[in-house]
C-alpha cells in the first residue's frame, strides 16, 4: 500500500485531508471531546520515522543526541533532542530501540531535513540513516482513552505494560507513551486491517486530536516553525528525561550543561488557552515589556470545550502574569497555567 493508497483508504473512512494531514473525520469538536472522555484512533500523519541501523548506530546517536543512548534498553524508548552548536533544538524525538535498530519519531515536516543532516555526520561510522522504518514502510496510528488496552487486545496486538516500553509483533510495534495512550507502527500492507480492528472500540479522529493530547501531557513537539528556537531546558526536556548531564560531548552540550549547572534558564514551558487560534511559532507579549516578545508557542490546537489550547515557552518574569497577549501587545488575551511537576522523570 502506497502513501496515496493509505490516504484514499482514510478518505473512504470519512477523513478530511488538508495538505496531506488528516484534519478530522467530519466533527473535530466531537473528536476532541472523545479524546478527553472516551477513546480515539488517530492517523499520525503529522509524524514521521527515521531509522538508524548498523554496528555503530548506538555510538553515533549517543554522540549526536542529548539523551543517554548507550543505556537505552532493548524494547524501550526515550525522549531525545538534536541540537545546534548553540544548544538550540533542531528537533525533538522519541528514540526507540529494537535490537541494533534505532528509530527516531519526530515531526513529519522536519524529517527530510533531519535525515539529510544526520547523514552528513555519519562520515566513516558504520551507520545507515534512512527515512521511514528499517526494512518496511510503516503507518503510524495513535490510540488513546479508556478502551485503548481493550482495543489493542481485540485487534490481536500486544499491550506494553510500562511507560516508554515497546512491544513488537509480526508487522510492527506498539509504544506505550502513558497509561491509556499508545502509538502503533504497522506495515503499510497490514494498516487497513489494523485500523478497522482498532476502530471497533475507538472513534476515528484527526491529527489535531493527537497534538492536543501532547499539549495536555506536556510533550513539546518541535516542528519546522520552532526548530532552533529553544534550548532543551526551555521546553522542559530536562524534566522529561530527554537530557543526560553525565555523558560526553554532543552538539550544544557545553551550552546545555552550563545552563543546567549555573541555573540560568529564564524561560520554561507553560500551557496556554485563548479564544483565538494559537499557532506554532507565534510570539507572545506581556504589557509589562512591550518592547520585545516574552515567549513563543510550541504548538496549538482547538480545545474540546471551545477556544484553543497550546504549549508555550515563556519568560519566567512574564509568567507571573495570569494573562499574556497573542501576536503583539494589542493582541488577544491568552490565559497562562503551569505544567504539573515532572521531577520523577528528570534527567541527571
Residue positions in the annotated binding site? 183
Cβ atoms of 57 and 50 within 8 Å: the answer is no
Find where cell 511507560 sits. 163
Enumerate the known binding-site residues for substrate.
183
C-alpha distance from residue 320 to each of 265, 270, 324 (Å): 16, 11, 10
Cβ atoms of 201 and 38 within 8 Å: the answer is no
- The DSSP bridge partners found for residue 91 are 82
Find where cell 497562562 sits. 336
Q: Closest Cα to residue 235, out of 66, 108, 56? A: 66
Neighbour order of strands in the sheet with 172-178: 166-169, 172-178, 181-187, 138-145, 39-43, 203-204
- The DSSP bridge partners found for residue 338 are 270
As a whole number of angstroms, the distance between CA 151 and CA 157 comes to 9
Helices and strands, number each (H, E), in the chain: 9, 19
Amino acid at each position: 500500500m502506497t502513501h496515496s493508497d493509505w490516504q484514499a483508504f482514510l478518505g473512504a473512512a470519512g477523513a478530511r485531508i488538508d495538505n496531506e494531514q488528516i484534519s478530522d473525520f467530519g466533527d473535530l469538536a466531537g473528536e476532541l471531546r472523545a479524546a478527553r472522555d472516551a477513546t480515539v484512533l488517530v492517523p499520525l500523519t503529522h509524524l514521521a520515522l527515521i531509522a538508524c541501523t548498523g554496528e555503530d548506530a548506538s555510538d553515533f546517536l549517543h554522540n549526536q543526541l542529548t539523551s543517554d543512548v548507550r543505556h537505552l534498553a532493548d524494547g524501550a524508548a526515550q525522549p531525545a533532542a538534536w541540537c545546534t552548536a548553540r544548544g538550540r533544538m533542531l528537533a525533538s524525538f522519541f528514540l526507540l530501540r529494537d535490537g541494533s535498530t534505532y528509530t527516531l519519531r519526530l515531526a513529519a515536516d522536519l524529517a527530510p531535513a533531519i535525515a539529510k543532516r544526520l547523514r552528513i555526520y555519519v562520515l566513516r561510522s558504520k551507520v545507515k540513516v534512512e527515512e521511514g522504518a528499517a526494512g518496511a514502510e510503516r503507518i503510524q496510528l495513535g490510540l488513546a482513552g479508556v478502551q485503548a488496552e481493550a482495543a489493542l487486545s481485540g485487534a490481536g496486538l500486544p499491550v506494553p505494560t510500562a511507560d516508554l516500553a515497546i512491544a513488537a509483533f509480526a508487522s510492527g510495534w506498539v509504544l506505550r507513551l502513558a497509561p491509556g495512550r499508545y502509538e502503533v507502527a504497522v506495515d503499510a500492507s497490514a494498516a487497513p486491517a489494523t485500523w478497522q480492528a482498532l476502530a471497533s472500540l475507538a472513534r476515528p479522529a484527526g491529527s489535531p486530536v493527537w497534538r492536543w493530547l501532547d499539549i495536555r501531557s506536556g510533550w513539546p513537539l518541535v516542528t519546522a516553525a520552532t526548530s532552533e528556537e529553544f534550548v532543551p531546558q526551555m521546553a522542559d526536556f530536562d524534566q522529561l528525561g530527554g537530557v543526560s548531564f553525565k555523558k560526553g560531548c554532543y552538539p550544544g552540550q557545553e551550552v546545555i550543561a552550563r545552563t543546567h549547572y549555573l541555573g540560568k534558564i529564564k524561560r520554561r514551558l507553560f500551557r496556554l488557552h485563548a479564544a483565538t487560534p494559537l499557532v506554532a511559532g507565534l510570539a507572545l507579549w506581556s504589557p509589562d515589556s512591550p518592547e520585545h516578545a516574552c515567549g513563543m508557542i510550541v504548538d496549538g490546537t482547538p480545545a474540546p470545550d471551545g477556544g484553543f489550547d497550546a504549549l508555550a515557552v515563556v519568560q519566567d518574569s512574564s509568567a507571573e502574569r495570569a494573562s499574556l497577549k497573542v501576536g503583539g501587545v494589542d493582541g488577544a488575551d491568552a490565559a497562562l497555567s503551569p505544567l504539573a511537576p515532572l521531577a520523577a522523570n528528570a534527567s541527571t
